[in-house]
Amino acid sequence: MLSIRNLSKTYANGIQALRDISLNVECGLFGLLGPNGAGKSSLMRTLATLQGPDGGSIALDGQDIFRNPQETRRHLGYLPQDFGVYPQITAQEMLEQLAVFKGFTERRSRQALVQEQLRLVNLYDKRHQKLGTFSGGMRQRFGIAQALLGAPKLVIVDEPTAGLDPAERIRFHNLLAEMGRDRVLILSTHIVEDVIDLCPRIAILNQGQIVAQGCPQDLIGALRDRVWVKPLDDKEIVDSAANQAQWQAQWNVITLRMIQGQRFVRVLSDEQPGAGFEITEPDLNDVYFTTLAA
């Protein structure tokens, strides 16, 4: 169990990145969703003990993670958004060095651990390949391998699927699902599909605050019978671009989306908002955008 209570963080330039955040995160995958600049990376860095908060507390299995940060890191795995590697070093060489940093100093047991981790992420056959030749998906799988060194209780992955092609993204989703079975695994992303596919519980972060949290299906269900959709003709598309503020005031627009070459407007309303609108099933994108606009 990860318990976050009243967490706040303001940087020296005056930006308040985190505002009184409280969350309980149990074993399994937990999605943290929010736009760029919402405070997700600030929260991830704080959870990883790379920076301290100005106020509040974080406890992992009842223990304050900042009481002994070095000990906390023995039970922590972290895959940051920008995960750098030395391109001329092989996967096995770099993972062995990272294992040394985590305290695995006995050579034989360290080598066995590294090989086990590479098998786990399906990179054992590539262990002697230089990291500079890895694809984006292979590099992310390597990042998970280093994050899982030492069987950590808490694993944090920050924007892990950005830049991956569809096949690599699916493989990485499957790996995260497997890794999240017996530990707290926090997935921080701005990609709605990542959390709806993987996470039984989520929180939405905006401007440093938790603005919604719960089961995705429950959050979606709260919008049932309130989301309307209408295809737009050419004139309406021009009008929407020219008069965005007027449209928003008139219809409470959630999104304008392209679907199979046709643009649709999705609107939040307790009753039919106008001619041509039909009721539709809400989705997590609707939850996300209505929450951010609230």
pLDDT at 158: 86
pLDDT at 240: 62
Per-residue pLDDT tens for 150-191? 889 999 998 888 777 888 888 888 888 888 888 999 999 888
pLDDT at 263: 85
pLDDT at 236: 65
Q: How far is CA 20 from the centre of its chain?
A: 20
Using the predicted structure, report yes or no on whether residue 245 has a pLDDT greater than 80: no
Place 45 in a pLDDT band, splitting at 50, 70 and 90: very high
Closest CA relative to residue 217, chosen from 287, 152, 269, 264 = 287
Q: Which carries the bigger pLDDT value, residue 58 or residue 136?
A: 58
Q: What percent of the chain has pLDDT over 90?
A: 54
pLDDT at 242: 59
Which residues lie across from 214 on neighbouring strands? Answer: 202
- Angle (CA) 183-28-53 rounded to 5° is 75
Across the range 28-40, mean pLDDT stands at 92
Distance CA 255, CA 182 (A): 37
Q: Would you kindly state where each structural domain of the chain is located, as residue ranges?
A: 2-214, 221-293
Alpha-carbon distances, residue 206 vs 21, 81, 109, 289 (angstroms)? 11, 18, 44, 11
Q: Which fold has domain 2-214?
A: Rossmann fold (3.40.50)
Using the predicted structure, report yes or no on whether residue 116 has a pLDDT greater than 80: yes
Q: Which carries the bigger pLDDT value, residue 235 or residue 85?
A: 85
Across the range 271-291, mean pLDDT stands at 93
Across the range 114-138, mean pLDDT stands at 90
